[in-house]
Amino acid sequence: MLPDFTNPADWLPWAFASLMGLSILIYVILDGFDLGVGILFPLAEPEERDRMIGSIGPFWDANETWLVLAVGLLLVAFPVAHGMILSTLYLPVFIMLVGLILRGVAFEFRAKARDQHKRLWNRLFFVGSLGTALAQGWMLGMYVMGLETTLATYAFAALTAVFLAVGYSFIGSTWLIHKTEGALQLKAVQWGKESLWGVVLGIGAVSLATPFVSARIFEKWFTFPEVLYLAPLPVLAGALVVALWVMLRRMPYAEDRRSWLPFAVASTLFALAYLGMAYSFYPYVVPERLTIYEAAAAPESLLIILIGACFVVPVILGYSVLAYVIFRGKATALRYD
């Protein structure tokens, strides 16, 4: 898997694929819980909603920026792939963008508009979050299916759309378990139990479909010794799912101990599933059509971005952590003072 580090044309695309992969993963986990909270929104009582918003308010903007970085890296490092993927996914991308617009502005408007309009913005907040999640799930399915547009791939994409939306609700529930208390926290535990199936089925569906879409991936999965690299993934993932289930049945623990654990485990589970996908598709950026080496921009341009990224990304991670530290603890309704 490792590239030849003496040849820039070899390791630069690899480095950028890794960086892009990392930002997609961070996005999926971080905005995943934002979107999940948005999807769970209508299930809560009106007075609980302000606290739900409060639990993601200081973070959602920065979380969404990881998507901008990911698509930006795709754009600048693999311009040909960017064009190919996004023009094939024209409509789901459009739906996702509309969803992101509605979610993002509803956030601000619901807090500032007059009371009688608040209901409308609440509804748009939910619709935007759900639409974004569904569109992303659809794109995930289409991508796994190699961007082929047939009835079967559409059906598969429809399934992954639902699974991802439920999966986001799951990680959103685990976030709420950590950030809330009292009746809302109990609800969040319940929501977590009810949406765990989305994660399981989502990971299961993608895992089952992936090797059968391409002979190359099948080979990679089921030949010796490669099969040994991959074997820990499903075992570990299964163990994490069981752990989550056991935990959720007993949560919240006395004195609210380890309320962060479900979210941490859920994030790990997402990361594992993602790693498995990345391993399978590598070195292709457009499945089975275009490798990262074929799609890469000129090495000189990549190098100048990478130098900047090496300095800046650690700083970004640093101050992002700072923000989470500052806003740690149970969420309250947000105030500007």
Partner 1 sequence: MEALDTLLLSRIQFAANISFHILFPTITIALGWVLFFFRIRFAQTQDDKWMAAYRFWVKVFALSFAMGVVSGITMSFQFGTNWPGFMETVGNIAGPLLAYEVLTAFFLEAVFIGIMLFGFSRVPGWLHMLATGLVAFGTTMSAFWIIVLNSWMHTPQGFEMVDGVAFATSWWEIVFNPSMPYRFAHMMLASFLTVAFLVAGVSAFRWLIGDRAREVPAMLKTGVALGALLIPLQIYLGDLHGLNTKEYQPAKVAAMEGLWETDTNVPLLLFALPDEETRLNDLEIGIPGLASLILTHEWDGELTGLNEFVTEDGEVLHPPVAPVFWSFRTMVGTGVAMLLLSWASLWFMWRRRDRHQGRDPGQWFAVEGLPKPILWALVPMAFSGWVATLAGWYTTEIGRQPWLVQGVMTTEMAVADVPAPMVMGTLVTYLAIYAALLLAYISVVIYLARKAAKGDDAPADDMTHSGKAEVEAISPAE
CA distances from 46 to 142, 168, 209, 219, 300 (A): 37, 21, 41, 52, 54
Sign of CA dihedral 42, 48, 52, 54: positive
Question: How many Cβ atoms are within 10 Å of 245's Cβ, its own excluded?
Answer: 13
The answer to whether residues 248 and 192 touch, using CB atoms and an 8 Å cutoff, is yes
Quick check: 250 binds partner 1 (CB under 8 A)?
no
- Cβ distance to partner 1 smaller for residue 183 or 239: 183
Among the listed residues 79, 74, 85, 84, the one whose alpha carbon sits nearest the alpha carbon of residue 22: 74
Quick check: 115 binds partner 1 (CB under 8 A)?
yes
CA distances from 115 to 49, 119, 311 (A): 14, 8, 46
Which parts of 263-322 interact with partner 1 (CB under 8 A)?
297-298, 300-301, 304-305, 308-309, 312-313, 316, 319-320, 322
Measured from the CB of residue 44, what is the shortest distance to partner 1 in angstroms? Answer: 13
Measured from the CB of residue 230, what is the shortest distance to partner 1 in angstroms? Answer: 32
- Stretch of 34-42, 80-88, 225-233, 238-246 lying at the interface with partner 1 (CB under 8 A): 80-88
Helix and strand numbers, DSSP H then E, in the chain: 14, 2
According to CB under 8 A, which one of 22, 43, 101, 209 is a site residue for partner 1? Answer: 101
Task: Please give the Cα distance from 273 to 212 (Å, whole number).
Answer: 17
- Cβ distance to partner 1 smaller for residue 151 or 315: 315
Quick check: 22 binds partner 1 (CB under 8 A)?
no
Measured from the CB of residue 102, what is the shortest distance to partner 1 in angstroms? Answer: 8
Measured from the CB of residue 37, what is the shortest distance to partner 1 in angstroms? Answer: 15
Angle subtended at Cα 241 by Cα 240 and Cα 243, rounded to the nearest 5 degrees: 60
According to CB under 8 A, which one of 105, 147, 233, 271 is a site residue for partner 1? Answer: 105
Q: Which two tokens stand for residue 318?
A: 């640093």
Quickly tell me which residue has 């208390």 as its tokens. Answer: 181
- Stretch of 34-42, 63-71, 226-234, 240-248 lying at the interface with partner 1 (CB under 8 A): 63-71
Helix or strand (DSSP H, E) at 291? strand 290-291
The answer to whether residues 163 and 205 touch, using CB atoms and an 8 Å cutoff, is yes
Among the listed residues 258, 246, 249, the one whose alpha carbon sits nearest the alpha carbon of residue 178: 258
SS3 110: helix
According to CB under 8 A, which one of 15, 17, 53, 199 is a site residue for partner 1? Answer: 53
Measured from the CB of residue 94, what is the shortest distance to partner 1 in angstroms? Answer: 5
Question: How many Cβ atoms are within 10 Å of 124's Cβ, its own excluded?
Answer: 20
According to CB under 8 A, which one of 22, 80, 209, 272 is a site residue for partner 1? Answer: 80
According to CB under 8 A, which one of 22, 43, 86, 205 is a site residue for partner 1? Answer: 86
- Stretch of 81-89, 152-160, 237-245, 285-293 lying at the interface with partner 1 (CB under 8 A): 81-89
Which parts of 174-203 interact with partner 1 (CB under 8 A)?
none
According to CB under 8 A, which one of 20, 24, 69, 145 is a site residue for partner 1? Answer: 69
According to CB under 8 A, which one of 4, 7, 97, 231 is a site residue for partner 1? Answer: 97
